Structure formats: structure tokens, C-alpha cells
């Protein structure tokens, strides 16, 4: 596999696209081909199943480039494959159904296990070891993260998570209500929604320019507005703690459109007769909004709020493209990447920060998982 990727890297960039897609296509075609013949009965198919069950795991291990020391993993994989084959003979869905199911699921599940689950566990462990991973240090990494300037980053992160979802949801909701059924609804919607498609890096540069400060003539609009109102220009991104608020504005700017689209769809889902009934009862616009619209879209408000909160927990790009954590603007999600990129990498403290981030996200995770579990059981 390394040989293939090394060869691929030698091609011009654009030529790599068709080649890798072709190879991927062949792999998928083979999987699909196996899915197709796996459940068929007959001696021919049984033999083919056996060959695949033994061969594929062994070849996979070989392709990953197993070391000579561990070459016996190849027969072990083959034996495990054979075991699956035997198990499959007695599968509930008939012969071949288990192997077929594995063909459907294995590519995705293995990648997830290796690429998300294993790293999660590894980070969990690394957080309690020294930076080179040799000695157990208990909670030292966390102590270190929470002292020094680290506490600032934690505080900022909490600020991001609290302020962004609230403001983005409130502005998005207000906007969705304002433009509902108005003339030019589509255009107004697109204008606010557009930032959703813009990268955080792009948004950051747009706002960096907006906040720009110079000696003499100002070219940043914000400072010019200050001047028009008779004030003196400010170096916005260097004045703590205001700079944090101004950075949060960037995220709010990108997320409001997202909130607006979600909430607008929910508002359109409220039955017209409910609004009419309230109207006939003499409710004014605000009362209708409070007593009919808001209760009707409460689940969507919660989803929006949670989604944006999760986005704000992970924010990295905005800090990286603007202040790079200077002047008290760092957040955990940014600092952990920086710590890791130190030479030598601060793996221990970096993992501790990642774990802190995970702990912050845990309530949302539990809430979401509970919801989906209820849904699944209700089905």
C-alpha cells in the first residue's frame, strides 16, 4: 500500500484524482461483487466464500505491510477468517448472510474503529502520561493546562460556547420571523445564509479587514465608523478582553445563516390555522410569536442551539487565521493543536486539552444520544 501511495504521490496532482478514484472503484466493485454472490447456494459459491473468508483478511494484513517479526499475523488472520466462514454456515439469515453483512459494514466500521474510536481511547490514556509517553503523571497535565495562561483559554472557550449559540440562534430566529412571507424573502435569506458556505478562514480575513487598524488613514470600516462618530481608532484585535468578543462575532456571523435556515423551515411547518386562530383571538404579532411560533418550533431551536454550541467548541480556524492566540484570545481547541505542533510535541498536555474539550462536549453527546435512542426504540 505504501508503495502504491508513494508511486501515486509522484504523479502530477490533478492526475492523482482519476487514478485513486479508479483504484477505489475497483475495490468497491469487488466488495459489491462479493455481496452479490455471497448468499447463493451451491458448492461453487461455498468454495468461493471460503476463499474470500480466508484470503481477504490475510491479504489485508500483508498489504498493511506487516513487519517480519509479526508475519504470523497473516495465518492468524486467515484462521480468523475461516472461523467467520464456519460461523456463517450456521447464520440465522442462511448461509452467506453473515459474510454478506460483514462486506456491507466492515469497510466503514473498521475505518471508524481505527480512525475515531482507537484515537479517542489513545488520547484518553495519553492525557495521564508525560509528554514523551514514558511515565504516568496522574492529573499533572490537567493541573498544568488549568494553571498559567491555560485557564484563560478554558475561560475563553466557555465564553465562545455560551455566547455564540445564544446570539446566533436569537438573531437567526428574529431574522427568520422578520422575513417570513415578506417581499424578497429569497434574496434576504441568501444574503444572510451566504456566510455558511464561506470557510472560517475566509470569514476571518473578511473580518480582519473590517477590524483593521493603522496609523493615519483608516482602511478598516469599523474604525472609520468610530471616526465618523468622533472617536479615536482602536487596535481592536489587540485590546483585551474586547478582542474575544470581536472574534466571537466572526463565528456568529457564519452561524446565524445556518440557524435562520433551520428555524425558517420550522416556522413554515407551523399550521396556518394555528396562527389564524391566534389572530382571531386578537393576539398581536408579538403574542402570536411567543405563544404559537416559539412553542411550535422548540425542538428545532434546541437542535440549532446544540449544533452551534458544538461548532463553537471545536473552533480552531478563526483563531489560527486572526490572532493566533495572542493577546489573551486563545481557546482550548486551538491551544491543543499548537501544543502538539511544538517541537518536541507536548503530547501529554495536548491530549489533556483534547480530553477537556471532550468533557465539555459530553453533555451534548449524552443529550443527542438519548434522543436518538428514544427515536430508534420508538420506531
Partner 1 sequence: MSATTDDLPQPIAHRSERARERAIRKAENASLSDTKRRLSSTGATIAAVVIAVIWTVPTFGLFITSFRQPADINTSGWWTFLSNPDLTLSNYTNTLQFTDTITVAQSFVNSLVIVIPATIFPIALALLAAYAFAWVNFRGKNILFIAVFSLQVVPIQVALVPLLSLFSNGVTIGNWAVFPGLNLNGVEGSFARIWIAHTIFALPLAIFLLHNFIAALPNDIMEAARIDGASHGQTFFRIVLPLARPAIASFAILQFLWVWNDLLVATIFTSGSNFPITKLLTDLAGTYGQTWYLLSAGTFLAIIVPLIVFFALQRYFVRGLLAGATKG
Residues 292-311 that bind partner 1 (CB under 8 A): 299-300, 303-304, 306-307, 310-311
- How many Cα atoms within 13 Å fall on the side-chain side of residue 377? 5
Pick the closest to residue 313 from 171, 146, 128, 153 (CA basis). 153
* Residue 258 interacts with partner 1 (CB under 8 A): yes or no: yes
Nearer to partner 1, 81 or 172 (CB): 172
* Residue 175 interacts with partner 1 (CB under 8 A): yes or no: yes
Alpha carbons 239 and 225: distance in angstroms, whole number: 18
Q: What Å distances lie between residue 86 and 1, 46, 59, 82, CA to CA?
A: 30, 11, 19, 6
Nearer to partner 1, 93 or 241 (CB): 93
* Residue 1 interacts with partner 1 (CB under 8 A): yes or no: yes
* Residue 371 interacts with partner 1 (CB under 8 A): yes or no: yes
Nearer to partner 1, 138 or 197 (CB): 197
Work out which of 146, 170, 188, 283 binds partner 1, going by CB under 8 A.
188
3-state DSSP of the chain? CHHHHHHHHCCCHHHHHHHHHHHHHHHHHHHHHHHHHCCCCCHHHHHHHHHHHHHHHHHHHHHCCCCHHHCCHHHHHHHHHHHHHHHHHCCCCCCCHHHHHHHHHHHHHHHHHHHHHHHHHHHHHHCCECCCCCCECCCHHHHHHHCCCHHHHHHHHHHHHHHHHHHHHHHHHHHHHHHCCCCCHHHHHHHHHHHHHCCHHHHHHHHHHHCCCCCCCCCCHHHHHHHHCCCCCCCHHHCCCHHHHHHHHHHHHHHHHHHHHHHHHHHHCCCHHHHHHHHHCCCCHHHHHHHHHHHHCHHHHHHHHHHHHHHHHCCCHHHHHCCCCCCCCCCHHHHHHHHHHCCCCCHHHHHHHHHHHHHHHHHHHHHHHHHHHHHHHHC
* Residue 232 interacts with partner 1 (CB under 8 A): yes or no: no
Nearer to partner 1, 54 or 252 (CB): 252
Return the sign of the alpha-carbon dihedral for residues 187, 188, 191, 197.
negative
* Residue 200 interacts with partner 1 (CB under 8 A): yes or no: yes
Nearer to partner 1, 43 or 183 (CB): 183
224 CB burial (10 A radius; 0-12, 13-18, 19+): middle
Stretch that binds partner 1, among 52-60, 134-142, 238-246, 321-329 (CB under 8 A): 321-329
Work out which of 170, 210, 274, 283 binds partner 1, going by CB under 8 A.
210
Nearer to partner 1, 128 or 340 (CB): 340
* Residue 276 interacts with partner 1 (CB under 8 A): yes or no: yes
Interaction residues for partner 1, span 54-113 (CB under 8 A) = 64-67, 69-70, 73, 93, 100-101, 103-105, 107-109, 111-112
For partner 1 (CB under 8 A), the number of binding residues is 138
Nearest distance, CB of residue 158 and partner 1, angstroms = 15
* Residue 354 interacts with partner 1 (CB under 8 A): yes or no: yes
Nearest distance, CB of residue 316 and partner 1, angstroms = 5
* Residue 376 interacts with partner 1 (CB under 8 A): yes or no: yes
Nearest distance, CB of residue 175 and partner 1, angstroms = 5
Nearer to partner 1, 240 or 367 (CB): 367
Stretch that binds partner 1, among 19-27, 47-55, 82-90, 149-157 (CB under 8 A): 19-27
* Residue 31 interacts with partner 1 (CB under 8 A): yes or no: yes
* Residue 198 interacts with partner 1 (CB under 8 A): yes or no: yes
Nearer to partner 1, 107 or 295 (CB): 107
* Residue 144 interacts with partner 1 (CB under 8 A): yes or no: no
Stretch that binds partner 1, among 49-57, 142-150, 156-164, 316-324 (CB under 8 A): 316-324
* Residue 344 interacts with partner 1 (CB under 8 A): yes or no: no
Amino acid at each position: 500500500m505504501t508503495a502504491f501511495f508513494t508511486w501515486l504521490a509522484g504523479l502530477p496532482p490533478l492526475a492523482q484524482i482519476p487514478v485513486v478514484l479508479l483504484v477505489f472503484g475497483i475495490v468497491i466493485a469487488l466488495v459489491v461483487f462479493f455481496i452479490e454472490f455471497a448468499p447463493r447456494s451451491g458448492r461453487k459459491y461455498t468454495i468461493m466464500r471460503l476463499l474470500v473468508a480466508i484470503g481477504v483478511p490475510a491479504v489485508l494484513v500483508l498489504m498493511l505491510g506487516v513487519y517480519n517479526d509479526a508475519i504470523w499475523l497473516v495465518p492468524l488472520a486467515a484462521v480468523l477468517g475461516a472461523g467467520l466462514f464456519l460461523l456463517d454456515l450456521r447464520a440465522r439469515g442462511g448461509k452467506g448472510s453473515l459474510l454478506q453483512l460483514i462486506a456491507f459494514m466492515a469497510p466503514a466500521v473498521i475505518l471508524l474503529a481505527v480512525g475515531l474510536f482507537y484515537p479517542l481511547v489513545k488520547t484518553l490514556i495519553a492525557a495521564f502520561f508525560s509528554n514523551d509517553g514514558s511515565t504516568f503523571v496522574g492529573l499533572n497535565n490537567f493541573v498544568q493546562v488549568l494553571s498559567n495562561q491555560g485557564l484563560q483559554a478554558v475561560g475563553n472557550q466557555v465564553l465562545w460556547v455560551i455566547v455564540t449559540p445564544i446570539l446566533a440562534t436569537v438573531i437567526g430566529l428574529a431574522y427568520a420571523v422578520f422575513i417570513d412571507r415578506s417581499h424578497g424573502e429569497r434574496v434576504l435569506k441568501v444574503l444572510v445564509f451566504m456566510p455558511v458556505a464561506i470557510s472560517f478562514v475566509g470569514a476571518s480575513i473578511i473580518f480582519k479587514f473590517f477590524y483593521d487598524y493603522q496609523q493615519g488613514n483608516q482602511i478598516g470600516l469599523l474604525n472609520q465608523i468610530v471616526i465618523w462618530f468622533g472617536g479615536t481608532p482602536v487596535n481592536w484585535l489587540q485590546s483585551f478582553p474586547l478582542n474575544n468578543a470581536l472574534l466571537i462575532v466572526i463565528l456568529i456571523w457564519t452561524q446565524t445563516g445556518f440557524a435562520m435556515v433551520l428555524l425558517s423551515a420550522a416556522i413554515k411547518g407551523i399550521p396556518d390555522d394555528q396562527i389564524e386562530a391566534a389572530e382571531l383571538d386578537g393576539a398581536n404579532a408579538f403574542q402570536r410569536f411567543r405563544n404559537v411560533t416559539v412553542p411550535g418550533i422548540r425542538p428545532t431551536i434546541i437542535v440549532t442551539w446544540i449544533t452551534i454550541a458544538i461548532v463553537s467548541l471545536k473552533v480552531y480556524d478563526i483563531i489560527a487565521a486572526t490572532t493566533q492566540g495572542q493577546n489573551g484570545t486563545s481557546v482550548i481547541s486551538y491551544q491543543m493543536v499548537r501544543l502538539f505542533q511544538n517541537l518536541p510535541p507536548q503530547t501529554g498536555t495536548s491530549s489533556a486539552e483534547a480530553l477537556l474539550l471532550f468533557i465539555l462536549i459530553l453533555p451534548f453527546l449524552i443529550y443527542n444520544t438519548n434522543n436518538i435512542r428514544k427515536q430508534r426504540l420508538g420506531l
